[in-house]
Amino acid sequence: MDSQLRQASPLVVIGMHRSGTRLLAQILDKLGVFMGADRQADAESVTFMLINEGILHQCGAFWSEPMSAHFVLSQPDFVERLAASARETLAAQLPNYSGRSGWHPGPTAAQTPPFGWKDPRNTFTLPVWRQVFPNLRAINVTRNGVDVAASLARRQSEALRSATGESVPSALTVIQDHALGVLSSRRGWTLPEAFTMWEQYVEKARQESAELGDRALEIRFEDLLMQPEEVVPTVAQFCGVPSPEERGAMLELIKSGRAFAFRRDPELAAFAETVREILQRHGYSP
């Protein structure tokens, strides 16, 4: 990696899966932040996603079972070794990230156009990326844990049913992702499991944000949906890019009805009451 790129301040989106990270990445893109030419349908840069997968695997972790990464990456020597490997891989894969977009690092860090990437895995791999990019900035997206758990459980259940044909597969069931060559566990297919995962991601994201200080910004998905005219300019200011005068195309991405959707489902509303104390601890209520 060029020394100029190392001194750049990429914008790294962190937060739990199904929390609105894709919407934020789409908004950043419209604000003029380059988020990768190799983005998948979920707005994740394949380059950074694969590096994150590699980091987690070397920690004995996976996106749905991330806690071993939390402990392993508390060891500075191990973080530095993984950071060295990430630098080498990123240098080789940077053309895939930039594609034919025309984006490229400038002659100085200050002249490098705004860039970043979205991947919920960043929440646990951020210690490595902070070594790679000492000046990085992070935007943490939070969302009510019941909506997150319901969305994740629904997605996991559908995937497992499609792969196994069973509505209640064995506890040992895993799904092989042939594109990545990795195995995905069934964890998160029930509301309680998915909610516990949300807790882990929220606490880790806030821990990392606290260490970054004013180089971190937390936004609530619900605020973004219901008050975009306030949140989008705040995000733009944090990113150091102009807030758009014409926001029509951006507002088309935002569907306010997704905020607190669980309250319209009696079963989910009842579940929310059982986890009231945990929700309140993290700034939410049933």
- Taking only the tens place, the pLDDT of each residue in 60-114 is 998 989 999 999 999 999 999 999 999 999 999 999 999 999 898 888 888 899 9
User: What pLDDT sits at residue 185?
Assistant: 64
Q: Kindly state whether residue 286 falls inside one of the protein's structural domains.
A: no
Q: Which residues pair with 216 in a beta bridge?
A: 138
Give the domain range for residue 162: 3-281
DSSP class of residue 39?
B
Q: Kindly state whether residue 271 falls inside one of the protein's structural domains.
A: yes
Q: Where are the alpha helices (DSSP H) in the chain?
A: 3-6, 21-31, 46-58, 67-72, 76-98, 122-132, 145-164, 191-212, 221-226, 228-239, 248-251, 266-274, 276-281
User: Which of these, 104, 142, 125, 131, lies nearest to 222 by C-alpha position?
Assistant: 142
User: What pLDDT sits at residue 119?
Assistant: 97
User: Which of these, 255, 146, 156, 257, lies nearest to 202 by C-alpha position?
Assistant: 146
Q: Kindly state whether residue 258 falls inside one of the protein's structural domains.
A: yes
Q: Kindly state whether residue 235 falls inside one of the protein's structural domains.
A: yes
Token pair recorded at residue 109: 């860090």
Residue 223: which CATH number? 3.40.50
Q: Kindly state whether residue 137 falls inside one of the protein's structural domains.
A: yes
Condensed to tens digits (0 to 9), the pLDDT of residues 268-285 reads 999 999 999 999 999 999
User: What pLDDT sits at residue 167?
Assistant: 67
User: What pLDDT sits at residue 81?
Assistant: 97
Mean pLDDT of the 132-159 span: 92
Domains of the chain: total: 1
Q: Kindly state whether residue 115 falls inside one of the protein's structural domains.
A: yes
Mean pLDDT of the 16-33 span: 95
Q: Kindly state whether residue 119 falls inside one of the protein's structural domains.
A: yes
User: Which of these, 116, 48, 131, lies nearest to 83 by C-alpha position?
Assistant: 131
